[in-house]
């Protein structure tokens, strides 16, 4: 198997190749580290590579696989190609976003105000990914504290979509998406507090699932806070997204929010609500390619036997102010020493200042407003099983076009106009997934052009993650995207 073929496999196929002996964990690691230092650097995917840790994990995985084959247990089982007793993704590379602790690995959270320090422990999701057998090759780039929808930190590389290096990979899981889309790794950990998995999935042509609130725990060390954010992964296939949800959907003692996966109910006729109007920024301009991708997906779903109806936004844009209050207080909660506040980027300082202006009563009112909004959304969407919309209002943005240091308020407003649908699913705690079902040719300021991906988002009722994944898999089968590759430019 050539290196190109090896790195082109999704995580499920790579795990199978490792089990059958078509390749080995150390061969995969060597190819991955080479790619990380090459195209990975070009797209700004990593803040640090952890080659020594990855080598230790790969050698342990290799020994386990060799022993299993010698014992005759590396045979077809309940999961194709899985030896009994061995982790499902043994030897498969999976980096971690640099907002999450990996014991001994440096963490900086994309901020000059935080000196990098070796993490004292593994966060819970890292524990689960280790248990699944993945190899942690490094930490992926994130913007400061994971706050904006672009990944352009002062202390690390800018994350770029490999489809057009002049354009952003999105954020805040931008480095993770760039690594997967550039074929460095088949899967990467990320997180989503307002769209931070789905935004880069759209910009990089990937699958990005935000699970239901309470399905993926922040434990045992983290807490839910306002319940906006959740961990997840970025993948190139729906089957990988589903498999890694199974890996991560484990409770820890003392969880504030808990959820269980409902039965998929696959194959039944669904009522799909097509939402084309922006929600949180009513006047946001929507690129025709983004709306067209959603309409084309609606036609595809109708062709698969589902009923599609157009639906309006479930609430007025002004009601989103509760999210802004919670987001700014969340930025203020970051443990930044007062004498290092000046090292923060202007957007973070602006958000933290807004957070200081939110009184206890205002914060409690915002929490109540979000909970009331969740009830109103449930009532507004009671007549549909799935909501379909564009993921973003625009194709991938040019690097530097969204970061407006001299006017942070304009920066924040531009972000909301770029992402007028994603945070609705964080507010309500419902699952949502971005799929790479569209594309468009864009022209850059230098006159060159490139074909870039356009994401389409599907969302469902709380706990209906399995239904969402089942529908996504049917769309992938009906309109496959695995043949698409970055680099079709002129």
Q: What is the mean pLDDT of each run of 10 residues along the chain (490 residues)?
A: 94 96 97 98 98 98 94 56 78 98 98 96 98 98 98 98 98 98 98 98 98 98 96 98 97 94 76 98 96 98 98 94 91 95 98 97 95 96 98 98 98 97 97 98 96 98 96 98 77
Q: What are phi and psi of 374, to 5 degrees?
A: -60, -40
Matching residue, tokens 């319940």: 227
Give per-residue pLDDT as tens, 170-195.
Answer: 999 999 999 999 999 999 999 999 99
Matching residue, tokens 């990979």: 169
CA-wise closest residue to 352 among 190, 149, 145, 194: 145
Residue 174 lies in a domain: yes
Q: Which of 97, 202, 210, 237 is catalytic?
A: 97
Q: What is the structure's pLDDT at 76?
A: 47
Q: What is the structure's pLDDT at 323?
A: 84
Distances (CA, A) of 481 to 58, 106, 127, 237, 444: 30, 36, 32, 9, 24
Residue 489 lies in a domain: no
E strand segments, 167-289: 187-192, 207-210, 230-235, 271-274
> Is 488 buried (19+), middle (13-18) or exposed (0-12) by CB count in 10 A?
middle
Number of domains in the chain: 1
Q: What is the structure's pLDDT at 490?
A: 39
Model pTM score: 0.97
Please enumerate in sequence order all residues whose Cβ is within 8 A of that of 26, keeping only pairs 6 or more positions apart, or say none: 55, 58, 59, 62
Residue 234 contacts residue 94 (beta carbons within 8 Å): no
Residue 486 lies in a domain: no
Residue 204 lies in a domain: yes
Residue 230 contacts residue 215 (beta carbons within 8 Å): yes
How does strand 138-140 pair with strand 96-97? parallel
Q: What is the structure's pLDDT at 426?
A: 97
Q: Which of 111, 168, 196, 217 is catalytic?
A: 196
Q: What is the structure's pLDDT at 407?
A: 98
d(CA 143, CA 489): 27
Please enumerate in sequence order all residues whose Cβ is within 8 A of that of 325, keeping only pairs 6 or more positions apart, or say none: 358, 362, 363, 366
- Determine whether 210 is an active site residue: no
Please enumerate in sequence order all residues whose Cβ is within 8 A of that of 273, keeping only pairs 6 or more positions apart, or say none: 308, 309, 310, 311, 381, 383, 384, 386, 387, 388
CA-wise closest residue to 127 among 222, 30, 28, 63: 222
d(CA 195, CA 290): 16
Residues linked to residue 459 through DSSP beta bridges, in sequence order: 387, 432
Containing structural domain, residue 159? 3-79+88-478
Residue 102 lies in a domain: yes
> What CATH number does the domain containing 281 carry?
3.90.1300.10
Distances (CA, A) of 434 to 143, 235, 428, 477: 21, 11, 17, 15
Q: Which of 24, 111, 172, 434 is catalytic?
A: 172
Q: What DSSP designation does 144 have?
A: G
Percent helix, percent strand, percent coil in the chain, to nearest 5: 40, 15, 45
Residue 203 lies in a domain: yes
d(CA 206, CA 196): 13
Give per-residue pLDDT as tens, 20-66.
Answer: 999 999 999 999 999 999 999 999 999 999 999 999 999 999 999 99
- Determine whether 490 is an active site residue: no
Residue 232 lies in a domain: yes
CA-wise closest residue to 107 among 353, 348, 338, 334: 334
- Cis previous bond, 220, omega within 30: yes
CB half-sphere exposure, 57, CA atoms < 13 A: 26
d(CA 124, CA 128): 6
Q: What is the structure's pLDDT at 345?
A: 98
CA gyration radius, the chain: 21
CA angle 455, 321, 362 (to 5 degrees): 145
Residue 484 lies in a domain: no
- Determine whether 423 is an active site residue: no
Contacts 24+ apart (CB under 8 A), 350-354: 350/408, 350/409, 350/412, 351/147, 351/327, 351/408, 351/412, 352/328, 354/324, 354/328
């Amino acid at each position: 198997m050539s290196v190109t073929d090896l790195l082109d496999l999704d995580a499920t196929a790579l795990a199978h190749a490792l089990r059958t002996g078509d390749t080995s964990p150390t061969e995969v690691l060597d190819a991955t580290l080479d790619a990380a230092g090459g195209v990975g650097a070009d797209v700004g995917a990593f803040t640090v590579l952890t080659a020594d840790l990855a080598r230790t994990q790969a050698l342990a995985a290799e020994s386990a696989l060799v022993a299993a084959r010698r014992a005759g247990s590396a045979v077809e089982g309940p999961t194709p190609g899985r030896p009994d007793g061995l982790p499902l993704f043994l030897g498969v590379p999976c980096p971690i976003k640099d907002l999450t602790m990996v014991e001994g690995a440096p963490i900086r959270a994309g901020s000059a105000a935080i000196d990098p320090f070796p993490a004292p422990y593994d966060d819970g999701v890292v524990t689960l990914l280790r248990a699944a057998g993945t190899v942690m090759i490094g930490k992926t780039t994130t913007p400061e504290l994971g706050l904006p929808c672009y990944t352009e930190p002062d202390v690390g590389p800018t994350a770029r979509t490999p489809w057009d290096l002049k354009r952003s990979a999105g954020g805040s899981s931008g480095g993770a998406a760039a690594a997967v889309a550039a074929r460095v790794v088949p899967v990467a950990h990320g997180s989503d507090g307002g769209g931070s998995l789905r935004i880069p999935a759209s910009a990089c042509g990937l699958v990005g699932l935000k699970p239901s609130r309470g399905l993926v725990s922040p434990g045992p060390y983290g807490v839910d806070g306002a319940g906006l954010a959740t961990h997840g992964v970025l993948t190139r296939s729906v089957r990988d997204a589903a498999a890694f949800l199974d890996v991560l959907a484990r409770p820890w003692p003392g969880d504030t929010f808990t959820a269980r996966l409902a039965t998929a109910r696959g194959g039944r006729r669904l009522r799909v609500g097509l939402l084309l109007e922006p929600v949180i920024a009513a006047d946001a301009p929507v690129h025709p390619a983004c709306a067209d991708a959603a309409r084309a997906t609606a036609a595809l779903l109708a062709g698969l036997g589902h009923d599609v109806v157009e639906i309006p936004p479930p609430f007025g844009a002004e009601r989103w102010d509760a999210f802004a209050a919670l987001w700014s207080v969340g930025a203020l909660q970051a443990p930044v020493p007062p004498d290092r506040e000046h090292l923060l980027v202007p957007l973070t300082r602006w958000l933290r200042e807004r957070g200081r202006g939110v009184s206890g009563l205002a914060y409690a009112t915002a929490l109540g407003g979000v909970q009331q909004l969740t009830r109103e959304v449930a009532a507004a969407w009671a007549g549909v099983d799935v909501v379909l919309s564009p993921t973003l209002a625009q194709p991938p943005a040019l690097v530097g076009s969204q970061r407006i240091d001299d006017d942070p308020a304009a920066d924040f407003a531009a972000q909301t106009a770029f992402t007028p649908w994603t945070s609705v699913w964080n507010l309500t705690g419902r699952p949502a997934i971005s799929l790479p079902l569209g594309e468009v040719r864009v022209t850059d300021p230098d006159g060159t052009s490139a074909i870039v991906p356009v994401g389409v988002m599907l969302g469902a009722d709380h706990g209906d993650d399995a239904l969402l994944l089942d529908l996504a898999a049917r769309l992938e089968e009906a309109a496959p995207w695995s043949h698409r590759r970055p680099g079709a430019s002129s």
